[in-house]
Chains A and B, each alone.
Chain A
Amino acid sequence: MRIVTAVLLGVLTSTGGFLDAGSISTAASAGATFGLSLIWPIVVGTLAIILLVEMSGRLAAVSGKAYSEALRERFGFAFYLLPLSADVISNGFLLAAELGGVSIGLALLTGLDWHTVLPVSALLVFAMVWRAPFGLIEDLPSILGLSALLFVVAIVVQPPSGDILQALAPKVPGSGSAQYLYLVAAILGATMSPYLVYFYSSGAREDRWSRRSLRINRMTAVLGNGFGSLSAIGILVACSVVLQPRGITADSLSEVGLSLAAPFGQLGAIGFGLILFACCFGAALEVSLAVAYDISQGFGWEWGEEKKPVEAARFNLVLIIYIAVAFTLAFVIGDPLQLALFASALIALILPVALAPFLILMNDADYLRDQRNGVLTNLATIAVVILAFVVAAASLALLLLTGGGR
């Protein structure tokens, strides 16, 4: 019974935790601009993140090392510095976008100016990472984030005119191909975000996973991310049905909410505010913690949410500084949706550096013992790493070509 509860909770939190400002923005822009034709990168990205999350959980459970710890110890400091610096920079923009998303969610519920709410959002995030136990950090925003499944219900209430299954086949349009490909890269970057790997493997260590947790790990990774991706697909379809015919390309988060207001009325509008708040809040916690874990584990400092702040002083100092910098970025740059799109494309650029080490780590007997990757898993990992390289190369060119996808 305890195992069933643990699995259920893991699946629920992964489902509710799937969406963030990046995946909401990219899915909405994709649906509003290109209709159903960009569902396939969401599916591909989901399969990839299932694999990556399962591997990072297995690494932590069997070796007792989180991903950053293993990176530093196995590859040395000079190598570790590259994914670290890329991670810190790209997640800075992403955290700024998440804080903006939290603020806009709260603003849509209250009618306040989101700029006024922004300091409150940053303080809320800080308060949670400062003192909340890890279980609450994992569970609360994700349970609230299950409200995102409202987008899946929206597909049933207002189904699209096209065939979703037929739209799964990749097909680059004649016009707007640069922007199409840019969104492909951004969707993959948003779905395969490395911060998920850092956070998940550290969470496995916080929860003291062992070999007995391997089944929970697999089910959480597969079912949680699988169900979670339905929300992202739901956003894409809803925006294609409501926004695309009106010429609205989802350039702001408030526009995205209209896709739920159309079928559900005021309930949909309120629901979107809640979804935005919950998903971006949960993601803000994960992104800030992922960076703090990455730095602290890499430099060998004390770390952990189960410890009092003074017992993991430098870990918590990193959290404070990072949230402050992201708040400043959000305040100065503004426009959370554009920030999220930019961050997702930036993340797509660094994917190879963040993910390639898996190929070596997951086949290292010193770490995984008898739980090393099988042939199929290795082939899938190679495919994901190759995909990451292709996406990174394309992302750079497309970012410059499209000037940030617009």
Chain B
Amino acid sequence: MWATAADRLRRGRRTPPVRVLLPPALVVALVAACSQGSFDRTASDTASTLLGAAATLEFVHAGKATVPYGRAAFVEYGSRLDGVADELATLPGAPPRAEAQGLVALVRAATAVVDDPCLDRTCDWQRQQRILESAGRALLAASGGQGGG
């Protein structure tokens, strides 16, 4: 005689609670894995952000994007660049020290531009665009990516 349906259905079969624990465990492992950086990955991501910032600057001044758009976009770019200059040279796969330091200097200069972009005609936006593009292309080359434009 069995007491409950659960007992009867479970007779001869163990149902470990692993099926409940599996998805959260998987997520923790995945998040940990995705948190690992490498030089190539970080450099190409940063290059894309800097080239995107350069294009945004160009578009705003060419009248193709609004100033509010530009302002909000640079806030997003700034979030993406947060901490990159500090960790770039020490990431797995980073180039030799001298080259890495050169890239870090370019990233710092570009980050300063992103933190204070010139979205009106009172400042030299083209100089800023040059800083962003040269940093972006240098990072792209260092990561083994292919530049465009």
A residues with a Cβ closer than 8 A to B are: 76, 78, 81-82, 85-86, 89, 104, 107-115, 243-255, 257-258, 261-262, 265-266, 268-270, 273, 334-335, 342, 346, 349-350, 396, 399-400, 403-404, 406
Contacts and interface: CB of A to CB of B under 8 A. Distances in A.
Contacts of B41: 403, 406
Contact of B64 (A104, A268, A335): A268
Given A85-B23, A404-B34, A246 B55 contact: yes
Contacts of A349: 26
Interface residues of B, number: 51
A334 B78 CA distance: 12
B149 A112 contact: no
Contacts of A406: 41, 44-45
Nearest to A242: B55
A114 B69 CA distance: 11
A180 B73 CA distance: 27
Contacts of A249: 44-45, 48
Contacts of B34: 342, 399, 403-404
Q: Which 5 A-B pairs have the closest CB atoms?
A: A111-B68, A404-B34, A254-B73, A107-B72, A255-B52
Contact of A346 (B30, B45, B69, B75): B30
Contacts of B73: 108, 252, 254-255, 257
B51 interface: yes
Given A82-B19, A251-B80, A335-B80, A258 B55 contact: yes
Contacts of B64: 261-262, 265-266, 268-269
Interface string B138-149: 001000011111
A113 B30 contact: no
A114 B75 contact: yes
Contact of B51 (A110, A248, A346, A399): A248
Given A111-B68, A399-B30, A247 B48 contact: yes
12 contacts: A111-B68, A114-B75, A115-B75, A243-B52, A246-B51, A251-B52, A254-B52, A254-B72, A261-B65, A346-B30, A399-B34, A403-B37
B33 A399 contact: yes
A245 B148 contact: yes
B80 A247 contact: no
Contacts of B75: 107, 113-115
A121 to B, nearest CB: 13
Interface of B: 9, 15, 19-20, 22-24, 26-27, 30, 33-38, 41, 44-45, 47-49, 51-52, 55-56, 59, 63-73, 75-77, 79-80, 136-137, 140, 145-149
Given A251-B49, A252-B76, A253-B76, 6 more contacts: A104-B72, A246-B55, A255-B49, A255-B56, A258-B56, A266-B66
Contact of A350 (B23, B52, B69, B77): B23
Given A399-B30, A400-B33, A403-B37, A81 B49 contact: no
Nearest to A78: B15
A81 B20 contact: yes
Nearest to A334: B79
Contacts of B35: 403
A213 B65 CA distance: 45
Contacts of B76: 104, 107, 114, 252-254
B67 A111 contact: yes
B148 to A, nearest CB: 4
Between B36, B66, B72, the greatest number of chain A beta carbons within 10 A of the residue's beta carbon is seen for: B72
Contacts of B52: 243, 248, 251-252, 254-255, 258
A110 B55 contact: no
Between B22, B68, B147, the greatest number of chain A beta carbons within 10 A of the residue's beta carbon is seen for: B68
